Amino acid sequence: MADENEMKEVKELATSEQISVKEISQEREKDFLEILKLFAPGTSLRSALDDLLNAGMGALIVVDNEVFLI
């Protein structure tokens, strides 16, 4: 059901912005891959996650892909 709602939202956005669903999907995939790269082995974030796991601790991690210009 979530996938249906998500697809409906994407189609509405595409219609309102005059862009294709394919372009939106490609952009979302690109964003996901960029976030995934943050957690790749050898990165400082991955090392911190490994340390948390080894210590038996938990953490709340928030990743934002918005760019704020001041």
Q: Are 8 and 33 in contact (CB under 8 A)?
A: no
Q: What is the pTM of this model?
A: 0.48
Q: Are 10 and 24 in contact (CB under 8 A)?
A: yes
Q: What is the pLDDT of residue 70?
A: 58
For residue range 7-52, what is the model confidence (pLDDT) as tens digits? 777 666 666 666 676 777 777 888 888 888 888 899 998 998 899 8
Torsion angles phi and psi, residue 42, rounded to 5? 100, -15
